[in-house]
Amino acid sequence: MKLYWLLSLLIPGAVLLSCSSSGSEEDQTPETTHAEMSGEEVDRFADIAILRYDIKGFDQLTLDQKLLVYYLAQAGLSGRDIIYDQNNSWNLEIRTCLEHIIRNYKGSKSGSDWDNFMTYTKQVWFANGIHHHYGMDKFNPSFSQSAFESWVAETGATISDQAIAVMFDPEVAKKRKVKDSNVDMIVASANGFYGEGVTQKMVEDYYSKLSDPNDPKPIELGLNSTLILKDGKLHEDVWKLNGKYGKAIEKIIYWLEKAVGVAENEDQAAALRKLIEYYKTGDLTTWDEYNVLWTTSTKGDVDWINGFIEVYGDALGKRASFESIVQITDFEASKQMKVVADNAQWFEDNSPLIPEHKKKNVKGVSYKVVQVASESGDASPSTPIGVNLPNNNWIREDHGSKSVSLGNIISAYDAASGPSLIDEFTNDDEEAELAKKHGYLADKLHTALHEVVGHASGTINDGVGQPSETLKNYASTLEEARADLVGLYYLMDPKLIELGLMESLDVGKAAYDDYIRNGMMVQLQRLELGKKIEEEHMQNRQLVAAWVIEKGKDQNVVERTTRNEKTYFNINDYDALRMLFGDLLREIQRIKSEGDYAAGKALVETYGVNVDQALHREVLNRVKPLDLSPYSGFVNPVLVPVTDGGGKIIDIRIENNQSFEEQMLYYAKEYGILESL
């Protein structure tokens, strides 16, 4: 599971919850960490800001550790093309054409058509395809089709008539993912997870026959395949070596095999070998075996996330997007937060859950703050700030989980932030002061509690089955709400003071203020007026905020007020609000534990989907003068091998000076393995 950050809320108090060149030693310049560049805005277009992040402590690694980071980064970048095809089957052809035009067009690169063309291309790069990374709507070009076709002709680019229609016809491939239970979500979605003619009923019937709710160790059915019709029958086109995406997977394996040779210990090496086996076979039992090895491999300074992991891109929550994160432990920060993982059982024992839904023995929870060294696929350019894996529930219960907070990403966000949203949306000076004084710590603690305690808590009743089967398209929203609620419940607990994690409950108050503010108002700036909320994290936040406000209405726990035609939300009773968070946590865990689809659907549809249109219009009007980008992402530092005269790598140097356009063209050149399928 991933925890995402909203850039325009990157302010104190924001609580939100996945080929290098080489040369001789003589022609290499001294290494620069570029720490002073963290948070620097590299580019801005449409609703996006592009930032930089730095990698602290990289120069303290041994050569083998640097090589391990480099090989793992290369493996991740080798899979970059996969996410494009997963998001839509025309993406690679369209992206290749756009990049060819940029590289080869010799005419005038000025005027509205060209400017709009460049904006469109950058949107495609950022979203890993032609649909918005968050809202899922297709980007409709603001440049003319005739201008585009003239650039194609002048540069000798190749693109099919069908791909041009996908680009310019607003009625074709309208949304990458449709989360609407009133329609056939598979037919309506334009992602590449399902073949032509496959319907939602076919998918549900297919997997209902394969799933066994009594299986104590179920695999994640459908995780790594495209479901297609072949000779009139459903067939899983598995993503593996010698299968779909095989050329990219071959390169991933090549670099992972090099990583095995410089692994820090045998546990790491065993996990990497099992990951290679999985990529070769596509066997989901092997994937589970890998995840057990990876979860229990907790020694060493370098770690990785690599594979088909998160299912947010599929409306039915089955098929996973490719993703890669390479990370280095931030020892000082991890030491400060280790206490959360060490006390995971206490948090479970003292939660407001129904007793039979609590884990009797929370196993193997590890928590680290890390320095990201490279990201790819579903984690880039838009990145989470925290990750908790693995996702398979039985592995979490039997072997535990790993939680990481991406420390240098959070620091870069914080460096780019400002107080403008606090000043605009806080109810009074007291609330603003709490946000500015305690917001950063409140966010760190909520991240830790969300990932370490939240996703690791609770148990599913015997014979119920996995949430992807029981809760279906509502599973991800409810899981994120559940993890958020665990964090919220404990942020007002004196136990955090006792553990030395915070000095006063004012930190919790700052977190509560921000959560209500964001869930009810500020996050709406990401949404086009008139739209419903479909993205799971946004649904989760509004669900939680709207539910507690409604349930606490008689006691006036959270008061909605209006001054000067502006809406504010004021918390009158933080203790009562905590109890409401606990009540909702108990109910959502019951829904998950019992597989209560009807109750889960009712919660999400009632509180998480529909938007107060008057309030939405007001929010858009209030944020417009602030000139903020609702979304953000990053260019990655480039890891460059330094070689001696014989070609042997003697060091890895960090370069962190590419523009967004330069990096995307560089990636296409060095890692454009699949091109078009």
Residue among 283, 57, 89 nearest 173 (CA) = 89
pLDDT digits (tens, 9 = 90+) for 346-391: 999 999 999 999 999 988 788 899 999 999 999 999 999 989 999 9
- pLDDT, average across residues 60-71: 97
Question: What is the structure's pLDDT at 3?
Answer: 65
Which residue type is seen at 630? P
Confidence band of 413 (pLDDT split at 50, 70, 90): confident
pLDDT for 9 beyond 80: no
Residue 8 has pLDDT above 50, yes or no: no
Average pLDDT of the segment spanning 122-142: 96
pLDDT at 628 (0 to 100): 87
Give Cα separations from 158 to 95, 98, 122 (angstroms).
11, 10, 20
Q: What does the DSSP 8-state code read for residue 356? A: G
What are the pLDDT digits (tens) for 394-406?
A: 999 999 999 999 9
pLDDT at 36: 53
pLDDT at 6: 43
Assess contact for 284 and 352: CB atoms under 8 A.
Answer: no
User: How far is residue 352's CA from residue 582's CA, in Å, rounded to a whole number?
Assistant: 6
The structure tokens listed for 309 are: 């992991």
Pairing state of beta strands 631-634 and 558-563? unpaired
Overall average pLDDT of the 402-416 stretch? 88
- Whether the per-residue pLDDT at 33 is higher than 60: the answer is no
The per-residue b/e assignment along 148-170, b for 16 or more CB within 10 angstroms, e otherwise, is beebbeebebebeeebbebbeee
Q: Identify the three-state secondary structure at position 303.
A: strand
Average pLDDT over residues 103-112: 95
Structural element, H or E, at residue 586: helix 574-594
Res. 430: pLDDT tops 50: yes
Percent of the chain with pLDDT over 70: 94
pLDDT reading at 7 higher than 60:
no
φ, ψ for residue 237, nearest 5 deg: -85, 95
CB 402 within 8 A of CB 104: no
CA–CA dist 543, 379 (Å, integer): 25
Give pLDDT, residue 416.
Answer: 80
State residue 93 phi and psi, 5-degree precision: -65, -45
pLDDT digits (tens, 9 = 90+) for 233-246: 999 999 999 999 99
Phi, psi angles (nearest 5°) of residue 529: -55, 130
Residue 180 half-sphere exposure toward CB, CA atoms < 13 A: 15
Tokens of residue 616, six digits = 């939405």
Contacts of residue 458, Cβ cutoff 8 Å, sequence gap at least 6: 353, 357, 358, 359, 482, 589, 592, 593
Query: Are the C-beta atoms of 342 and 352 separated by less than 8 Å?
Result: no
What's the mean pLDDT in 588-599?
Answer: 98
C-beta of residue 256 within 8 angstroms of C-beta of residue 222: no
d(CA 327, CA 332) in angstroms, rounded, equals 15
Amino acid residing at 93: E
Q: Supply 558's token pair.
A: 């959270």
Q: Which two tokens stand for residue 146?
A: 């005739």
**Model confidence pTM above 0.95:** no
pLDDT at 37: 66
Query: Given this model, what pLDDT does residue 501 score?
Result: 94
Residue with tokens 């590449």: 192
| Averaged pLDDT for residues 520-548 | 95
SS3 at position 315: coil
For residue 486, how many other CB atoms are within 10 A of its CB? 30
Query: What average pLDDT does the chain have?
Result: 92
| Residue 433 exposed, middle or buried by CB count within 10 Å (0-12, 13-18, 19+) | middle
| Centroid of chain to Cα 584 | 24
Task: For residue 200, give every residue at least 6 positions away whose Cβ sits within 8 Å of its Cβ, in sequence order, or none.
Answer: 184, 185, 186, 187, 316
pLDDT digits (tens, 9 = 90+) for 257-301: 999 999 999 999 999 999 999 999 999 999 999 999 999 999 999
The pLDDT assigned to 411 comes to: 87
- Give the mean pLDDT of 519-532: 94
* 160-169, 317-326, 369-378, 449-458, range with the lowest pLDDT: 449-458
CA distance 607 to 480: 14
For residue 13, the model assigns a pLDDT of 31
CA-CA distance, 171 to 664, in Å (whole number)?
28
Torsion angles phi and psi, residue 524, rounded to 5 = -65, -15
* 193-217 pLDDT, tens digit each: 999 999 999 999 999 999 999 999 9
Question: Which residues are CB-contacts of 41 (< 8 A; sequence separation ≥ 6)?
Answer: 49, 50, 51, 416
According to DSSP, residue 53 is labeled -
Angle value at C-alpha 617, between 614 and 622, nearest 5 degrees? 125
pLDDT recorded at residue 16: 32
pLDDT band per the 50, 70, 90 thresholds, residue 504: very high
24 falls in which pLDDT band (50, 70, 90)? very low
567: pLDDT confidence band, cut at 50, 70 and 90? very high
* Integer Cα distance of 133 and 139 in angstroms: 10
In 3D space, the residue among 371, 367, 449 whose CA is nearest the CA of residue 412 turns out to be 371
Single-letter code of the amino acid located at 292:
V
Whether residue 32 is predicted with pLDDT greater than 60 in this model: the reply is no
* Length reported for the chain: 677
| Window from 26-40, 78-92, 267-281 with minimum mean pLDDT | 26-40
Does 99 score more than 90 pLDDT?
yes
Of 278, 273, 281, 231, give the one whose Cα is nearest residue 256.
Answer: 273
Q: Are 561 and 549 in contact (CB under 8 A)?
A: no
Amino acid identity, position 115: D
> How much is the average pLDDT of 217-238?
97
Residue 15 pLDDT > 50, yes or no? Answer: no
Q: What is the largest CA-CA distance in the chain?
A: 77
Percent of the chain with pLDDT over 90: 84
Residues 6 or more apart from 110 whose CB is under 8 A from it? none
